[in-house]
Structure 1
């Protein structure tokens, strides 16, 4: 049942953030296994869908977290397996889904395209992050 709900929310999120087909979509599957330096054993999971507009000037992010009482969520800059600084704040407290839209500078567009951004959800128990997901492009047929 949870997998079906997760899939339905994913599809809804994709259509929500991509009303114009010229936008470029990115996703992050978020889990404790991706946390660094040490993976976190947690039932929490999440999904982020990111949409970069055709002009590459605006980034829309939708984040859903499940089985987590997140205190904050961010987009950080670092390649997979490394920790990096916060570059966008998604929210504090955590009703999900969280939706945010930002003007995105050219250096962050390049980081996005190069796989150097990740989504991190933080909790009281894991202030450095309980679940994390590296952002990667969605392959659309």
Structure 2
């Protein structure tokens, strides 16, 4: 099972594609025992940011929230560009993964059943979205994917 995953986020990935300059990338890394999930969201040009969630579902489908990466704020925030980091534990899982382990979440990520959805005031159902997939190639084994060769600056330490 993969320990590291990522998602490329943009408005075209939403079920109803949205016109937005916002984009981003999300990195996810599990510890060796699958008890902690560390995440890094790198977001560009997103105004009035409200929340970010992991959701269960395939591309072009809706799905229930399985974990909140960032809760809805009473006042929205602007990110241009910005980074949000955090950790999740088993107790943070909800919806169809309530009571399950982070290894179960990793298994769902590995089969393409989890996506990141980021909402804003302008697009409350989602402004940018991306399917979570395993890191492969140059980023698959290092614990620090600085040299991943993706279109984004990979300056994250997971």
TM-score by length of 2: 0.68
- What corresponds to 2:115 in structure 1? 118
**2:32, 2:106 → 1: CA distance?**
12
User: Over aligned residues, Cα RMSD in angstroms?
Assistant: 1.7
- What corresponds to 1:46 in structure 2? 24
2:129 aligned with 1:129: no
Range with bigger deviation, 46-55 or 106-115: 106-115
**1:62, 1:53 → 2: CA distance?**
14
- Runs of 4+ more than 2 Å apart: 92-96
Gaps of 5+ in 2: 91-100, 139-158
**1:60, 1:87 → 2: CA distance?**
15
Aligned length: 118
- What corresponds to 1:86 in structure 2? 65
TM-score by length of 1: 0.76
Gaps of 5+ in 1: 1-22
**2:89, 2:110 → 1: CA distance?**
16
Could you list the per-position Cα deviations for residues 32-55 of structure 1 after superposition, in whole angstroms to 9, with x for gaps in the alignment?
00001x111111101100102222
